[in-house]
Amino acid sequence: MTCPLHPATRSALWLPPLALAGCVRGAMLRDTTGAQLAPAQRFNHYPATPLCTLTWWFEGTGETLEPGAAATLSSPRSAPTARVLFTGPQTRPTVTWNPGPARGMMLLLMPDALHRLVGLDVSQWTDQTAPADEALPPDWQAMSLQVLSADRGTHGLPLIEAFLTARWAPLRDATPSRRYRDWAEALALRAATTPTGRSLRQIERRVRTWAGQPLRELRGFGRAEHAFFDGLAAADAGTLRWSEVAIDAGYFDQSHMNRASRRITGFAPEELRRRIAEDEGFWAYRVWQ
């Protein structure tokens, strides 16, 4: 899609085929190489997430602001150490900044699927980012390098799809869950029915190993996602009442939802909705609308 605020920028969302639905949430692509963005327009806002991410920098780069820092040009930032990065689940919102024009892609992986594919203890990667070769096995590293040099028109997505389909086919669930709420409940059920120990402590430890965060937090992402999409739909229909969205999503009240929204995105729902509509840096939210 083209951002209506700056038509020269390009943001797109790739959704996986059904065969990969339980493994990949999607891929977000961003290209500002044809745009003349002011420095203040080069921030990128991302919510906290239960997902693991592979990020490719095809052109340019991005610098990450310190957790909790305001999106200002004077905020301390750290530059990436590689062109392909692995990031574990994030418990807080993230803001990055591009020093100049950039083109990149983020592959969003379900954490439990990554555990099943490569045996990764996801809990060791929560709120962590590192070069991909420090987290993933050699065949994933080779695939990542191939994607880095792939044709600009495809961004390596056919290569990624073929690579993951071959490895995920023997492991995939019959009815994958695309929404966080259903996924969290399916994960809890699988953790509870695993033969090797079924105490609450063992179940919770298993969920953390598979997903990097406790089940309570995963269910919280499900409520937040529900409220996000319901709020967008109600706003489009002209019937938006945040108090109703809160109750429908499973919050105690609107204040409860506001606190959760600030923890996950950094903003209360109405402020977030305004920024999505008006701020270039919230492109990652717009591609999911």
At CA 288, angle to CA 283 and CA 289, rounded to 5? 95
Predicted TM-score (pTM) above 0.75: yes
Residue 231 lies in a domain: no
Confidence of residue 257 (pLDDT cuts 50, 70, 90): very high
Residue 234 lies in a domain: no
pLDDT digits (tens, 9 = 90+) for 111-148: 999 999 999 999 999 999 999 999 999 999 999 999 99
Window from 23-27, 153-157, 201-205 with minimum mean pLDDT: 201-205
Residue 109 lies in a domain: yes
Both structure tokens of 120: 């990764």
Which residue in 195, 222, 192, 197 sits closest to 207, CA to CA?
192
Residue 123 lies in a domain: yes
Supply the DSSP symbol for 199.
S
Which residue in 110, 111, 122, 75 sits closest to 95, CA to CA?
75
CATH number for the domain that contains residue 49: 2.60.120
Whole domain around residue 59: which residue ranges? 10-168
Residue 40 lies in a domain: yes
SS (H, E, C) 88-151: CCECCCEEEECCCCCEEEEEEECHHHHHHHHCCCHHHHCCCEEEHHHCCCHHHHHHHHHHHCCC
Residue 56 lies in a domain: yes
Both structure tokens of 83: 């062109």
Residue 30 lies in a domain: yes
Both structure tokens of 2: 């083209």
pLDDT digits (tens, 9 = 90+) for 198-253: 688 888 999 999 999 999 999 999 999 999 999 999 999 999 999 999 999 999 99
pLDDT digits (tens, 9 = 90+) for 49-95: 999 999 999 999 999 999 889 999 999 999 988 999 999 999 999 99
Number of domains in the chain: 1
Both structure tokens of 225: 């996602």
Q: Of how many residues is the chain composed?
A: 289
Task: Give 221's contacts (C-beta < 8 A, 6+ positions apart).
Answer: 48, 49, 50, 180, 184, 264
Residue 220 lies in a domain: no
